[in-house]
Amino acid sequence: MNSISQQLFTRAQQSIPGGVNSPVRAFKSVGGTPVFIKKAKGAYLYDADGNRYIDYIASWGPMILGHAHEPVVQAICEKAVDSTSFGAPTELEIDMAELIISMAPNVDLIRMVSSGTEACMSALRLARGYTGRNKFIKFEGCYHGHADPFLVKAGSGLATLQIQTVPGVSAGVSNDTLTCAYNDLEAVQQLVAEHKDQIAAIIIEPVAGNMGCILPKAGFIEGLRAICDREGIVFIFDEVMTGFRLAPGGAQQTLGIAADLVTYGKVIGGGMPVGAFGGKKQIMERIAPLGNVYQAGTLSGNPIAMIAGYTTLKELKDNPSIYTDLAEKTAYLHEGLDRVLTTSGIPYTINRLGSMISVHFSDQPVTDFASAASANNALFNRFFHAMLKRGIYLPPSPFESWFLNQALTLSDLDATIEAARESLGEIGG
Ligand code: HOZ
């Protein structure tokens, strides 16, 4: 007898490409049937068959406070009765902008959009408009959403599905995308020298989350900052994953390095479709209607999205201990996984910062896309299914960070570590 998830997946494939509205959800690389979710509360997801899972995806990042967090749900319900969209300015948008500016360093002006993709796409256009240059540098395995210029050597779903070049992205567009390995400062120096005065921007996930979690080596981001300063290049931090997750001021605060432009998504919307890009006044002033770099959106600053985001950010700002709690929980999980992985004898590397963590089955340090890709990812796929069977919902790909949420308890973490011990025993080495 097929499970309800299996029945729904069969039905979904008749009307939705691949049965999903975003490729990373399809379980294509790990195999099997995606679990169809019915509801979630706190740290738990419940599927259509009534199974409960401890959630380490957090909707790919946004649900830092846990699912259906009471104050967020209540704020959305109260707001919705006043209509769900106006397409005109509201006071709430000012509150949101002021709150973001009070939390995020180096953000003088902020423009709201509806996704991380839109944020990155708009920030790149702005950097090009501001500098009058076309080329930009991105890093192999980083993912900045699915706008055309970024779909070169991208992480996340493209790495998972092994899509190297994307039909539909013209050579004219991708020729302006220059790529380097993450953590390879020398390669960036060389590329910048080869393309003197042609590079508008360097965009980076300051802590990468789209090839698993990968940390910048000491001096790497500082080195990029120095190159940008010297060469008049706009330094863009893609903080779609790290923004409001690593700290109230995101990776800029955690690493102590200033960006010229910053993009946000995920946590900023508290589970609603929200993105934003912001930064230095002299750059942001080039955006229409102040300047002529055009960018717009019917649902930008949508009241329901804003109230969900505002309520989430305000709670994070007012309770900074949430960040220490989350980091402690993640360290606890890390220690437990270390224990059971060491006992299993399976080679592994765990990368972690704040509430981002991931496991690669590799005996080498994982510092860039090549080292992430050369791990035993077939073993990861089996680990994923063994964990899922035991009620632990991990990202269905080694090329994604795990995200912890504040609703997780120590007993959830212990259950996860025990499930990992059993799973490793099941899958062997
Ligand atoms: N950007 C997220 C993955 N790294 C998830 C969004 C998606 O592609 O569905």
Query: In terms of residues, how long is the chain?
Result: 429
Q: What are the beta bridge partners of residue 179?
A: 138
* Token pair 């919705």 in the structure block, residue: 80
Of 126, 420, 138, which Cα lies nearest the Cα of 288? 126
Can you give the pLDDT at residue 43? 98
What pLDDT band is residue 147 in, cutting at 50, 70 and 90? very high
In whole angstroms, give the CA distance from residue 199 to residue 181.
17
Res 405 pLDDT > 70: yes
401 lines ligand 1 (CB under 6 A): no
Ligand 1 center to residue 151 CA distance, Å?
Answer: 13
Ligand 1 pocket check for 155: Cβ under 6 Å: no
Kind plus residue range of the DSSP H or E element containing 179: strand 177-180
DSSP character at residue 37 = E
Taking the whole predicted model, whether its pTM rises above 0.95 is answered as: yes
DSSP letters along 113-124, please? ESSHHHHHHHHH
Atom of ligand 1 nearest to the CA of 265: 1
Paired residues of 67 in beta bridges:
42
Instruction: Just list the catalytic residues.
Output: 143, 238, 266
428 band by pLDDT with thresholds 50, 70 and 90 = confident
Closest residue (by CA) to atom 5 of ligand 1?
60
Whether 60 is in the pocket of ligand 1, judged by its Cβ within 6 Å, is yes
Dihedral in degrees, nearest 10, Cα atoms 45, 313, 246, 300: 90
At 58, is the secondary structure helix, strand, or coil?
A: coil
CA angle 102, 108, 112 (to 5 degrees): 80
Nearest to 204 by CA among 260, 288, 129: 260
Mean pLDDT of the chain: 97
Task: Report DSSP state, residue 386.
Answer: H
Ligand 1 contact via 157 beta carbon (within 6 Å): yes
- Residue 386 reports pLDDT greater than 90: yes
The domain locations on the chain are: 4-68+320-427, 70-318
> Distance between terminal CA atoms of the chain?
32
Q: What is the token pair recorded at 120?
A: 């990155």
**Residue 320: exposed, middle, or buried by beta-carbon count in 10 A (0-12, 13-18, 19+)?**
exposed
CATH of domain 4-68+320-427: 3.90.1150.10
What number is the average pLDDT over the span 116-123?
98
**Which of 24, 151, 358, 403 to probe ligand 1 with, by most ligand atoms within 8 A of CB?**
24
Residue 400 Cα to ligand 1 middle (Å): 8
Question: 70-318, what's its fold?
Answer: Aspartate Aminotransferase; domain 2 (3.40.640)
Confidence (pLDDT) at 164: 85
| Residues contacting residue 135 through CB under 8 Å, at least 6 positions apart | 176, 177, 178, 195, 198, 199, 200
Task: Compute the average pLDDT of residues 152-180.
Answer: 94
The pick from 60, 150, 240, 267 for probing ligand 1's pocket by mutation, whose C-beta has the most ligand atoms within 8 angstroms, reads 60
pLDDT per residue as tens digits for the range 223-253: 999 999 999 999 999 999 999 999 999 999 9
- Cα angle 180-182-184, degrees, rounded to a multiple of 5: 70
Average pLDDT, stretch 267-274? 98
287 beta partners: 293
Q: What residue owns the CA closest to ligand 1's atom 9?
A: 22
Which amino acid is residue 25, in one-letter code?
A: R
Pocket of ligand 1, candidates 21, 156, 205, 267: which has the most ligand atoms within 8 Å of its Cβ, to mutate? 156
Locate all alpha helices (DSSP H) within 16-166, ordered by sequence.
70-80, 91-103, 116-131, 157-160
pLDDT of 429 strictly over 60: no
